[in-house]
Amino acid sequence: MTHPSEPVPGAEERSSGVPAETAPADPPAVPAAPATRGNSARPVGRRAGRPPRFWEYLIAAIVKPLSRLLMRHRWGGGENLPRTGGVILAVNHLSWSDPVLLSHYLYNNGRWPTILAKAGLFRIPVLGHAIAQWQAIPVERGSTEATQSLKTAEERLRNGAAILFYPEGTITRDPAKWPMAGKTGVARLALATGVPVIPIAHWGAQDFLPYGETKPRLFPRTTFHVLAGPPVDLSKYAGKPMRASVLREATADIMAAITDLLAQIRDEKAPETPYDPRDAAGR
């Protein structure tokens, strides 16, 4: 399994027309998409879902130069990212480094990514304060408070945030690194709020920092490919009771969109059935 040797059609860096080396502190005033069910209660400003300017400029000044130094970029699909309004960014997960690398891509396309982070990080002196200022949402895993993160995410979406979600719930365990079967939390949020779900696929982070390793591989310099697609069409589920079967079908549609984008990046045929770690454990 190798990186594609040819550029992905339409996947050039910063495809939306703004040079990749510059990122506006405030995204350009682009009209928001029409209001959808559950997402029209409050007006959304240009800085909705963004941190105080000091904290935004601080992390941008750190992440962007490092990202440019350590990785090559081949980015596409920026025109599919709405510049305002609540939006779910549904992404495949390959490495502990990909949230930071994806943040550079999203920031250069006018959106501040709200990330779900382990609650323990918020309790670390200084770092915890910074993470909170950067608008991250704490996740208490394996506790009765675990659902609170989804409630917080729903509120943020209604107030115009762009939230980065990994529907798989963890780094893929698929031997060929295709997206696994997804969990239903993202579909539940999308149907509850009516915000668009933008599928995003990426490739390259798994070579920069492979799963299970703590030191990045700096040589040879890796290319980080990103491709965002149009919103996943979930209209057929609108108004239906959120039964388990409905959520599973909507989740499958979201994961299929991500997988199709990754197949374009890799220039390979994706498996017909996504890897499910629950099935693998039962073998």
Q: What is the mean pLDDT of the chain?
A: 85
pLDDT more than 90, % of the chain: 71
Higher-pLDDT residue of 20, 86: 86
Per-residue pLDDT, 45:
56
Superfamily of domain 53-281: Glycerol-3-phosphate (1)-acyltransferase (3.40.1130.10)
Enumerate the H helices of the chain as residue ranges.
53-70, 98-108, 127-133, 148-158, 185-193, 205-208, 244-266, 277-281
Query: What digits encode the pLDDT tens for the residues 31-41?
Result: 333 333 334 33
Per-residue pLDDT, 250:
98
Q: Which two tokens stand for residue 198?
A: 């933008």
Per-residue pLDDT, 94:
98
Per-residue pLDDT, 117:
85
Contacts of 39 (CB under 8 A, 6+ apart): 85, 86, 157, 158, 193, 194, 195
Query: What digits encode the pLDDT tens for the residues 192-226?
Result: 999 999 999 999 999 999 999 999 999 999 999 99
Contacts of 279 (CB under 8 A, 6+ apart): none
Averaged over 142-166, what is the pLDDT?
Answer: 88
